[in-house]
Structure 1
Amino acid sequence: MGNHTTVTMFILWGFSSFPELQNILFAVILLSHVTILLANASIMVAIKLNHSLHTPMYFFLFALSFSETCTTMVILPRMLVDLLSESKAISLPECATQMLFFFGLAANNCFIMAAMSYDRYTAIHSPLHYHIFMTQKVCFQLMITSCVTGFLCSLGITFTIFNLSFCDSNNIQHFFCDISPLVHLACDYTAHHAMIIFLLSAFVLVGSFVLIMISYVFILFLVVKMSSAHGRQKAFSTCSSHLTVVSVHYGFACFVYLIPKNTDSFREDMLMAVTYTVLTPLLNPIIYSLRNKEMKIALRKVVGHINKSLPCLTIKNNPEHFKNNN
């Protein structure tokens, strides 16, 4: 970071403007965080244990669930601590690290969704050669490319912001180190910096969204040409969950990061960011679970396996059971 930086510690002001709501917010966010972890873990376990789900489509879903779990771990635990703590200080290196990982993982989510749309196009366009085109090697290459590209963009944004001078105030009007609240604290923030941040953000959001839309335009042409009504219905059913998740994800993300902000809108932006960082990761596994027949069957098998295991664990941990039986 630049030698001209005078601020070495920030205060995450967050929800301090709503002291009467902090206990309620803590309970709601804690419940949401636990639900997100359990829902995504259930999807990953179901995919891992069911060999019928060892396909490219569910490989990318596994990667998306893992990435979203990591994204929430970067933000929500710190938010929960700050809701109960009087000291909300975060050092400059910690703030930069949080921003780097949050935007890197969030960008990774966007590119994984683009890879998922390409996978759906390939499955519908070339069903007989699907496993030839979407090999395990190709899937790993797409996933690694998504991760590397996402973190390179995040590194560019983080370096641009933390190379600025923060000398007016150290109160961040947010619950995590986000872009807009930080740049409004900088003394030497210029249109040049704004352009770099906007272009990198647009490359991630608009670029990945364009790739998704291109895939779905081709999918639509293919579906329209299908003579079988059953084939069209099957094609739409395989894409409906992904399209729903894309709509929710990009709707909130574009509103938060592509629309120009001012200091008067920080409170509204913060509330919208709660929706983006809490609601979206919560909805994604629910959407895939409720709208995907194969996933529902796999989750039922996992729950059934757990229910069968519980009596065995109870017997093993209860020696009196054997004495009574003897």
Structure 2
Amino acid sequence: MNVRPRRLRATPAMRRLVAETRLNPADLVLPLFVREGSEPRPLNSMPGILQHTTESVRAAVNEAADLGLGGVMLFGVPDAKDAVGSGATDYDGILNQATRVVVAEVGDALVVQTDLCLDEFTDHGHCGVLDADGRVDNDATLLRYRDMAIAQAESGSELLGLSGMMDGQVAAVRDALDSQGFENTAILAYSAKYASAFYGPFREAVGSTLRGDRKTYQQDPANRREGLHETMLDLEQGADIVMVKPAMSYLDVLADVAAMSPVPVWAYQVSGEYAMIEAAAANGWIDRERAIFESVTSIRRAGADVVLTYYAPEIARTLREQP
């Protein structure tokens, strides 16, 4: 036999040398939840993850900066909610307040990003405002997104994560930002976002009060081409970065998007993916560290330029300790 692929797997040093995909802390973004109140709160469904306060988040983002992560994505967890998500555009609302805190701490070292969606702020838990029949009103929601975009940009967010899956949301937000002098504020479009069962723990993380489901605006998990269609629409509307979410169950969609996108492609390793690894490892069914690295490496291998993952600090610490 002249062809022996095992030659390149013979030693750890050789495997490291010929690895096609590598993890780098700069390619990771850490999602963070910030709640109102004076004490951080652990999440039962996501062991090791907290709802931070505006004080405790300071240490978290400084660690992220020290580890060389690419950025942090902030989610607000308000005490009070209403039908239109008023807290999302309140200057002193928890997300805008937390953004100013984080920008002051690490704005020169990390890309400070904010989730632009209403689900954390509405009492019905949907990503938009409802019409008289209780359905999500797409165009009325876009008006709220425009106001949210201005509030977040004014608070210092450098990158707005449009996760609501409303038709035309990228164009609406881009127009609002440009009209108010925020031409340099970038847009991350959650372009291929699916109505997934893997968001379950996230509901606890943001204190969701969702009634019903989001299948009328998030994509059907059965559809692959639709992910490309949504991505092309967002690109036409001016998205600076496009996202596939969740990641691990949609690697085919991620690869499709990465093959055609002229802009960076990101993917989100969501709460349910995190929780499954933690639960299986706690029961001794899998090697936790190997599962973490294999899962995130697979997302990068499929085409993600950047991965949003709750494991970002742990991965960065492990990489730092390796020879």
TM-score class, shorter: under 0.3
Q: Which has the higher contact order (CA 8 A, sep 6+)?
A: 1
TM-score using structure 2 length? 0.25
**Structure having the larger proportion of residues in strand:** 2
Question: Looking at CA atoms only, which structure, 1 or 2, has the larger radius of gyration?
Answer: 1
Give 1 or 2: higher helix fraction. 1
